[in-house]
Structure 1
Amino acid sequence: MRYGAVLAFAAMLCGCQRLEDVGKAPAFTPVEAGGEYYAMTTPGLPEVQPQGYSGDEASLWTGGRGSLLGDRRAGQRGDILTVVIEIDDKAEISNTTGRSRSGSDRMGIPNLLGIPQRIDGNMPAGASLADAFGTNSSSDYQGNGSVARKEKLTLRVAATVVEALPNGVLRIQGSQEVRVNFEVRELIVQGFVRPADISRQNEITYDKIAGARISYGGRGQITDVQQPRYGQQIADAVLPF
């Protein structure tokens, strides 16, 4: 009874939390809560000016990033670059396995110094040591398996350099949220990139991101309806059948 009351109370709390969202659009995640905002608002390492820099900001030939011919690609914490996600994967796997085995064993003692004949006289009718025992066995196994998968995703998202590692590799993180009516579409990307892989347009493709973590989903009324209820999820995890 005590455990039942605890479960009922927990279910009531979950229900109350869901009732608070009735008639409301899902809220956006605060931008200030992410690592991107921290990387852009905290000071980074001081920028080293090239030798011979005269300090004339009006010159077109200075080596600074703000000059006309300067490198505008992301390279330090707080910089922004564009991640291009174009996934078009297709995989088909088919396996067939077959196995068959059969065996037969027979053993008898028809003649052994006349002993089998003497024993046969004391055995029940039809029994004889000439055919002491016989066995037959067979097994057959067939297995088939197939996998067919096709994924296509084309997206672009701005990411922020949140950390520059000692070896020069950049750790990036980007997020994007778009709300349409009562449904929020979420896109999250993070990973590690080399500055040399960033194009002159300050873009990088997803296949050049090491340890890439890409999440594309949503939350809201439609997503909520597509999910099974808490009771069904608990039953699926607990019930053994």
Structure 2
Amino acid sequence: MHMTWKLAALVLVAACGRTDHIGKPPSFTPAQEAPEARAMTEPGLPDVVVDLRPVDAASLWSPSRASLLGDRRAVVRGDILTVVIEIDERAEISNSSDRSRSGSENLSVPGLFGLPQRLDTKLPEGASSDELVGLTSQSSSSGDGSVKRNEKLELRIAATVLDVLPNGVLSISGSQELRVNFELRELLVTGFVRPEDVSRQNEITYDKIASARVSYGGRGQITDVQQPRIGQQVLDAVLPF
């Protein structure tokens, strides 16, 4: 009985994610609950205040980030930068093997103290002891395998600096949701970047993100139809046949 309640609770939890978009489009994730929003609202470490003279404040060469030629790249908690994801990878592996072996063995006793000659007289007609044993073997094996893989993905997403590590590396996270009719597409990216890898356009490519985690998927009515039911997934994981 106790096991039945556990199974029922598991089914209810799994179904909660699908009841959100029954008869209506899937709901967006509240932006205020995202870690990026907390990084923008919570104050970080205080910035170093530069004492500028009136002449320097009006100069185009002011070191301030707000100046015309200032460096506006993301460097502190709450800053925003653009992540460029352009994946165009192709891998092809082909293996083949062929092996063949053959062997033949013959054993004859033409003379052994005259025993073969005496044995021949007692053997049935047509039989002879000239070739007592004859063995022939042949074996062959071949194998062929190939792997082909092609991936192409072009995306751009704005990510927020969540934290600045003690060594200066930036921890970033970005999320993007796009709803078309009853299907919601989600794009998530997290990782660690070096400030010097951020370009002057405040952009960074995905191949310069350490521990990059990129997720591109969705949820909605079409996704539910394409996914097997929770009961079938449990049986596929448990049944050994």
So what's the TM-score if we normalise by structure 1?
Answer: 0.79
**1:151 and 1:157 mapped to 2: Cα distance?**
19
Q: Does 1:141 align with 2:141?
A: yes
Q: Which residue of 1 aligns with 2:162?
A: 162
Q: Does 1:190 align with 2:187?
A: no
Instruction: Quote how far apart the aligned CAs of 1:36 are.
Output: 1.8
* 8 Å Cα contact 2:170-2:194 kept in structure 1: yes
**2:12 and 2:96 mapped to 1: Cα distance?**
50
Instruction: Quote how far apart the aligned CAs of 1:121 are.
Output: 7.7
Matching of residues 98-177 of structure 1 within 5 Å: 98-114=98-114, 131-177=131-177
Q: Which residue of 2 aligns with 1:214?
A: 214
Instruction: Quote how far apart the aligned CAs of 1:224 are.
Output: 0.6
Change (3 A) 1:213 1:8: closer
Instruction: Quote how far apart the aligned CAs of 1:189 are.
Output: 1.0
**1:233 and 1:12 mapped to 2: Cα distance?**
12
More deviation, 172-181/217-226: 172-181
Q: Which residue of 2 aligns with 1:91?
A: 91
* 8 Å Cα contact 1:175-1:189 kept in structure 2: yes
RMSD: 3.3
Provide structure 1 residue ranges, at least 5 long, that are not aligned to the other structure: none
**2:145 and 2:235 mapped to 1: Cα distance?**
29
* 8 Å Cα contact 1:49-1:63 kept in structure 2: no
Instruction: Quote how far apart the aligned CAs of 1:234 are.
Output: 3.3
**One-letter amino acid of the structure 2 residue matched with residue 148 of structure 1:** K
Q: Which residue of 1 aligns with 2:74?
A: 74
Change (3 A) 1:69 1:105: same
Q: Does 1:13 align with 2:12?
A: yes
**1:176 and 1:161 mapped to 2: Cα distance?**
15
Instruction: Quote how far apart the aligned CAs of 1:133 are.
Output: 3.5
Change (3 A) 1:134 1:42: farther
**One-letter amino acid of the structure 1 residue matched with residue 58 of structure 2:** S
SS of residue matched to 2:43: coil
Change (3 A) 1:103 1:54: same
Instruction: Quote how far apart the aligned CAs of 1:158 are.
Output: 0.2
* 8 Å Cα contact 2:14-2:230 kept in structure 1: no
Q: Deviations over 1:110-147 (max 9, x none)?
A: 44445666777888888876544433332222222223
Instruction: Quote how far apart the aligned CAs of 1:81 are.
Output: 0.1
**1:145 and 1:3 mapped to 2: Cα distance?**
49
SS of residue matched to 1:95: strand
Identity, % of aligned positions: 61
**1:116 and 1:41 mapped to 2: Cα distance?**
106
SS of residue matched to 2:223: helix
Instruction: Quote how far apart the aligned CAs of 1:58 are.
Output: 3.6
Aligned residues: 238
* 8 Å Cα contact 2:20-2:26 kept in structure 1: no
Instruction: Quote how far apart the aligned CAs of 1:195 are.
Output: 1.3
**2:124 and 2:170 mapped to 1: Cα distance?**
89
SS of residue matched to 2:228: coil
Change (3 A) 1:10 1:55: same
Change (3 A) 1:20 1:66: closer
Instruction: Quote how far apart the aligned CAs of 1:37 are.
Output: 2.4
Change (3 A) 1:67 1:98: same
**1:219 and 1:173 mapped to 2: Cα distance?**
20
Instruction: Quote how far apart the aligned CAs of 1:73 are.
Output: 0.2
Q: Which residue of 2 aligns with 1:202?
A: 202
